[in-house]
Chains A and B, each alone.
Chain A
Amino acid sequence: MTAIDQTRSTAMGGVTLARALPWIIATAFLMVMPLIFTQNSAITIMNQMAITIVFALAYNMLLGQGGMLSFGHAVYMGLGGFLCVHLMNYVENFEIPLPLPLLPLFGGIFGMGFAMLIGTFSTRNAGTVFAMISLGIGELIAACSIIIVVFFGGEEGISADRTYGLPVFGIEFIKQIEVYYLTTFWLVLSALLMYLFSRTPVGRMANAVRDNPERAEFLGYSARWVRYCSFIASGFFCGVAGGLFAINYEILTEENLNLITSGSILLITFLGGVGLFFGPIIGAIAFTLLQTVLSLETELWQLYVGVLFLATVMFFPGGLAGLMAMHVPVVKLGKMNTLIVPYIKTLVPGAIGLLALSGLIEVIFHAKHATADDHVMSIYWTTFSTHDILPWVVLAVLSVGGIWLAKRNAPELLEAWGNANTLGD
């Protein structure tokens, strides 16, 4: 029975340092981030990131853990957010002693309540039926936002002021940095709870039902109930994200409920990787950076995000997190060094080629859409006129050459990858 004993020792054990370490590092990292990036704009981006992470993780409770594709998940976040904006106004108007940091809890409960209602019929099936119902509910609530003006505020939405509440330990949440720490607290708490949820019996069965609902039924579990449990848990954390959004932006509009928001959370989660718990976190960080930083650089940022998404779906279904996880066995075999040279030989020309190609797109876009006398543009720290032939030639040559070189060297990388994943030398 030695093998069983061995199994025992590895399977058992509650909180060990090795398991807690990623959480401790992540928390410490979040604490010091504002000390490194002190500008207000950076903190704004980080707040947005944190909120998106909570939303994406909650969304992945359905998509990745439970195998349910929702096209209308903005609704649960939006409703939680709207409720919190109203609560902020109540606190202001009636001087209710409700501390601001507790608001996301109420947002969560509201999101969960709505999920409990919708889940009763939408979780009967996974697959297409579920997706279509989620789409319908998404449209319905987005349409309601213009009809039920009392709650949704019509086209201008509902706004509030977070600073009118009671100060908590003397903090009035006027400064962005104060909101940052509030958001971070909820981010860490929600992420931890969502992670722990995935380790509970119902969380494990969510995986089982995702893989094979029929088999799960023959193990004594109602697939529908398991889906329902995941659905309301997801609704809760979406509502928390909504509450954080309300605190951060102090306004919610129809945009928070509509299909564009629902679509982008799907994109974010998939980009990061649905198969691993930390996937959506990476997706949210990458997407927020693209959305905020890249959108300052180019009007075409959505094109690039779209291409990135397409490439992920086609070539790396595991997403960015899956791409990282692929390297774990290689590192374990101690063969990461054999990959460095092939990586440089393929990825550097590939990156140059793609950057030049997007440069070419930018030049075409500028030449086509700028006003007739505006022919000076600057990309990659270079300023030139779109009427000159040289920039066109340089960009075209670089993109064709780079991509050709990358394609030529790709088989070498594939071979090195194969070798790096096999035992022995």
Chain B
Amino acid sequence: MTPALHLNDVRKSFGKTEIIRGLELAVHKGERHAIIGPNGAGKSTMFNLITGRFPVTSGNITLHGQDLAGLAPYEINRLGLSRSFQITNIFPNMTVFENVRCSLLWSLGYKYSFWNMVSKSRELNDGAAEILDQINLLDKRDLPAGLLAYADQRALEIGITIAGGADVIMLDEPTAGMSNTETDYIVNLIRQVTENKTLIVVEHDMGVVFDLADRISVLVYGEIIATGAPEEVRGDPKVQEAYLGAALEAEH
């Protein structure tokens, strides 16, 4: 079976510095895959490479067997891959409802249409309302998104990410900066909305990772040093060493 997402010897250099040094990763269809690793290991860079935000220096990335080389972010998105961002990335001046409705437009085939009225499409408005119901923001639908509380903005970002119906969802630190209750809430939300989808999540909170993930990959200095089920990874001496080493370095 072709993996949902496959990274084959992916390298990325910024100038002379090689940030990603030969990534090998296969994410199976329908699994929840967490990427962990110390700060600066290249987790966000890896996300940006996969989604076409940066071009790869060498190696290739395939989505359901299709090579993503040279594709722009919007083209990759149209192939069924959607992502969220580490720093909340929504449309702050538009209403919550409008945020979600915009993220449904392409997948419902509206493209660059200027002959349809968005308010007249039942599938568009019902679809947006259903997403809002899933992320529990239905009662705040008419607020400008920028006025939402932080946790709600993160929930909205997840809503925008899943709305287009992509089957590969990538979330970059979805619980960053959240309190424990908020974290529990978002993790439950993620679990619900990614049912039957492939999820790739970067996360620092180990509680979240071991709770959510089917498999975990550990990224250290631009390389995956271990991949496996949560228990295997936890017991791996290389992982313990790398994490401990990085933690010590961070102290200095």
Show the binding face of A for B, using Cβ within 8 Å.
1, 3-4, 7-8, 11-14, 196-197, 199-205, 207-208, 210-212, 214-223, 225-226, 229, 233
Contact = CB atoms under 8 A, between A and B. Distances in A.
Contact of B77 (A11, A199, A219): A219
Interface string B142-172: 0000000000000000001000100000000
A211 B112 CA distance: 18
A229 B89 CA distance: 24
27 contacts: A3-B138, A4-B126, A7-B132, A12-B122, A14-B120, A196-B117, A199-B117, A201-B112, A201-B113, A202-B114, A204-B98, A205-B102, A205-B105, A207-B91, A207-B94, A208-B91, A208-B94, A211-B91, A211-B93, A214-B73, A217-B77, A218-B74, A219-B74, A219-B77, A220-B106, A222-B72, A233-B114
Contact of B112 (A8, A11, A208, A226): A226
A226 B102 CA distance: 13
A200 B139 CA distance: 25
B90 to A, nearest CB: 7
Contacts of A212: 89-92
A199 B119 contact: yes
A219 B105 contact: yes
Contacts of B105: 201, 204-205, 219-221
B246 interface: no
B115 A200 contact: yes
Contacts of B132: 7
A230 B117 CA distance: 16
Contacts of B133: 1, 3-4
Given A218-B74, A220-B107, A221-B106, A211 B116 contact: no
A107 to B, nearest CB: 20
A199 B73 CA distance: 25
B114 A217 contact: no
Contacts of B91: 207-208, 211-212, 215
B119 A13 contact: yes
A137 B134 CA distance: 49
Tell which of B78, B110, B119, B164 has the most Cβ of chain A within 10 Å. Answer: B119
B69 interface: no
B125 interface: yes
Contacts of A220: 74, 77-78, 105-107, 164
B118 interface: yes
A287 B92 CA distance: 31
B51 to A, nearest CB: 7
B103 interface: yes
Given A4-B130, A215-B91, A218-B83, A200 B117 contact: yes
Contacts of A215: 85, 89-91, 160
Contacts of A229: 112, 114
B141 interface: yes
B125 A14 contact: no
B102 A204 contact: yes
Tell which of A196, A201, A222, A223 has the most Cβ of chain B within 10 Å. Answer: A201
Nearest to A215: B89
A218 B106 contact: no
Across the A-B interface, the 4 shortest Cβ-Cβ residue pairs: A220-B106, A201-B110, A211-B91, A11-B125
Interface residues of B, number: 48
B226 interface: no
A203 B90 CA distance: 18
A219 B101 contact: no
A201 B111 contact: yes
Interface string B56-92: 0000000000000000111001100011010001111
Contacts of B113: 200-202
B125 A12 contact: yes
B193 interface: no
Contact of A221 (B74, B92, B116): B74
A7 B112 contact: no
B114 A222 contact: no
B125 A7 contact: yes
Given A11-B128, A201-B112, 4 more contacts: A7-B138, A12-B119, A200-B117, A204-B118
Given A200-B118, A202-B113, A204-B118, A219 B138 contact: no
A233 B105 CA distance: 20
B129 interface: yes
Contacts of B164: 219-220
A382 B98 CA distance: 56
A120 to B, nearest CB: 15
A1 B134 CA distance: 11
Contacts of B85: 215
A201 B116 CA distance: 7
A221 B106 CA distance: 7
Nearest to A230: B114
Given A14-B120, A218-B74, A220-B106, A7 B129 contact: yes
B102 to A, nearest CB: 5
Nearest to A214: B89
Given A8-B126, A219-B103, A203 B78 contact: no
Contacts of A199: 117-119
A226 to B, nearest CB: 7
A363 B144 CA distance: 49
Nearest to A220: B106
Contacts of A233: 114
A200 B118 CA distance: 5
Contact of A219 (B93, B106, B116, B129): B106
B117 A218 contact: no
A203 B92 CA distance: 17
